[in-house]
Amino acid sequence: MKPRSGLPYLIVSLAIVWVLVTASTSSDELLIGGLAVAIVALAVRNLWGVFAGIRFTPRAIVSAIAYFFIFLRELVKANLDVASRVLRPSLPIRPGIVEVRTGMRSSLGKLMLANSITLTPGTLTLDVRDDRMFIHWIDVQGQDADAATKAIVSGFENTLKEVME
């Protein structure tokens, strides 16, 4: 795929978002929107290669929507877990750094996964090296990398793979 081949998708997507946000099809609104879309497209035209791994298929769109709800669920669970540890100090806290494996191949996929992990309370992505991520975890369950991968990564990664790569 050429680095700029997805640019028309970006332009159309931005135009649709503009019309939906402004809720207007007046000539003035469309002219300003067209200028805004052109400026954004020109600004990111050399960066488009970063987004080359994103799939634009109906299944990928459904998976992206599902990912949002999976992320929301994991975010709520992690917040409740951390809040209960704060409110009940008797709960164990075993902080540590664990190594997990990822099947994400694209840089953007790894970035999305690392950010998803970091945005959930109790975990923080420290480093990404090839197919490994090093995560600071509030409650390390053991030394097994497969168990840590399943506990931290699997919920996000399975859906993200449908959207990227």
Rounded (5°) CA angle 102-108-110: 20
Q: How far apart are CA 37 and CA 31, in angstroms?
A: 10
Residue 71 shares a structural domain with residue 130: yes
Residue 47 shares a structural domain with residue 89: no
3-state secondary structure of 84: helix
Residue 130 shares a structural domain with residue 67: yes
Q: Could you tell me if residue 2 is inside a domain?
A: no
* pLDDT given for residue 158 in this prediction: 87
Exposure of 37 in the CB half-sphere (CA atoms within 13 A): 19
Residue 32 shares a structural domain with residue 93: no
How many independent structural domains does the chain possess?
2
Q: Could you tell me if residue 21 is inside a domain?
A: yes
Q: Worst-scoring range by mean pLDDT, 22-31, 51-60, 100-109, 111-120?
A: 51-60
Reported confidence tier of residue 4, pLDDT bands at 50, 70, 90: very low
Residue 24 shares a structural domain with residue 92: no
Q: Could you tell me if residue 114 is inside a domain?
A: yes
Neighbours of 144 (CB within 10 A): 11
Residue 86 shares a structural domain with residue 159: yes
Report the share of the chain in percent with pLDDT over 70. Answer: 93
Q: Could you tell me if residue 1 is inside a domain?
A: no
What residue numbers bound the domain in which 12 lies? 7-51
Q: Which residues pair with 136 in a beta bridge?
A: 97, 124
3-state secondary structure of 98: strand
Per-residue pLDDT tens over the stretch 84-131? 988 988 887 889 999 899 989 888 889 899 999 999 888 999 999 999
